[in-house]
Structure 1
Amino acid sequence: MAETTPPALTHFRDGLPRMVDVTGKVPTVRTATAEGWVRLPAEARAALEAGTNPKGDPLTVARLAGLAGSKRTADLILLCHPIPVTGADVQVTLEDAGVRIVATVRTTAPTGVEMEALSAVTVAALNVYDMLKAASKAIEITGIRLLAKTGGKSGDYAAQGG
């Protein structure tokens, strides 16, 4: 049986975590789109639809929180590079299945924006929960995933069924 060498770990060296050095990489245009869902029990949905939520409009707050979350990703994801977010769009909509959040983030940088898009969705979803938790503690955050990305060494990606 032939021995195989395991792939080199990019974020660990000598057993210690490190931030990958992207100094020599040429900045390129990159985009990423992510989505997530907030499933609402009947009482939370009723409060949202009736506009009787005591904290205000969860969808507007979530949209703003998602935009802010995209810009603060490197503060939350420990080995993520701080990059210039040159554009971000967060859509928060009430649909039959619950609240759908879709975030698209853009940059011109030496590394991608997948984590920024995923952070935007996650932070937005947490804000929906926070805004509606008085109506129900049974709210579920689910389905957070990368839908698409463009640019970078690994090329473009599109999720199946997305």
Structure 2
Amino acid sequence: MSERKADETEASERRAGSDATREADDAGDDLTHTTDEGDVQMVDVGDKPDTARRAVARGEIRLSESTVDAIRADEIGKGDVLATARVGAVQAVKHTWETIPMCHQIPITNVETDFGVRDDRVVLEVAVETTGKTGCEMEALEGVTTGLNVVWDMVKAAEKDGDGQYPGTAIRDVEVVSKEKRALE
């Protein structure tokens, strides 16, 4: 490439980078967790009315069929896998504000956990309800991820291969499946 062509390419890249920076700055104007100076901040929800809110999240942990069979038969040496995971999920929901830096501490009014045991996985759905000024989807996600991590912890001896690795074990497809908001009556 000629020197002139290289200079033109570099100038074009600088312009494109400058445009991207400007676009990012403009998008930053709409970010609620940063100040104009780029500092991270908690969103002020003090003026918002309390509303009834519900969020549902779901995820799954892939396991070997023999591990799933052992969960069904309550033959995991550490104890009842799903009961322990349920407690872990509820605890995580209640403590989300302590682990996600910009989450508000909200009044949790209900937590529902639903486990689906399939041939090669355990599916967990967590529904969280609150009557507060902000949503509860992060709480539902924390419940799912922690609940699934508890399952992994409870079954890890059964899932390890000969080298002490977990080649088939995986937490996947964690997502918010719904959220609702309605005025309090």
TM interval, short-chain normalised? 0.7 to 0.9
Name the counterpart of 1:118: 141
Out of 144, 151, 162, the residue aligned to residue 128 of structure 1 is 151
2:69 maps to 1:69: no
Query: Secondary structure at 1:11's aligned position in 2?
Result: coil
Name the counterpart of 1:8: 30
Out of 146, 155, 162, the residue aligned to residue 176 of structure 2 is 146
**Root mean square deviation, CA, Å:** 1.6
C-alpha distance in structure 2 between counterparts of 1:108 and 1:15, whole Å = 31
Name the counterpart of 2:47: 24
C-alpha distance in structure 1 between counterparts of 2:81 and 2:116, whole Å = 10
Structure index of larger Rg = 2
Structure 2 gap ranges (5+): 1-21, 161-165
> Structure 1 runs of 4+ off > 6 angstroms?
none
User: Is this contact kept in 1: 2:65–2:120, CA < 8 A?
Assistant: no
Name the counterpart of 1:98: 121
C-alpha distance in structure 1 between counterparts of 2:74 and 2:53, whole Å = 38
Query: Secondary structure at 1:30's aligned position in 2?
Result: strand
Q: Which has a greater percent of helix?
A: 2
**CA drift at 1:93:** 2.5
Residue-by-residue CA offset, 1:4-53 (whole Å, 9 max, x unaligned): 73342210111111101111111100000010101112342233234221
* TM-score normalised by structure 1 residue count: 0.86
User: Is this contact kept in 1: 2:53–2:181, CA < 8 A?
Assistant: yes
Greater Cα offset, 64-73 or 6-15: 6-15
Name the counterpart of 2:8: none
Query: Secondary structure at 1:93's aligned position in 2?
Result: strand
C-alpha distance in structure 2 between counterparts of 1:69 and 1:142, whole Å = 18
C-alpha distance in structure 1 between counterparts of 2:103 and 2:131, whole Å = 16
C-alpha distance in structure 2 between counterparts of 1:50 and 1:21, whole Å = 49
Q: How many residues are paired up? A: 150
**CA drift at 1:97:** 4.4
2:114 maps to 1:84: no
Query: Secondary structure at 1:32's aligned position in 2?
Result: strand
Structure 1 gap ranges (5+): 153-162
Q: Which has a greater percent of strand?
A: 1
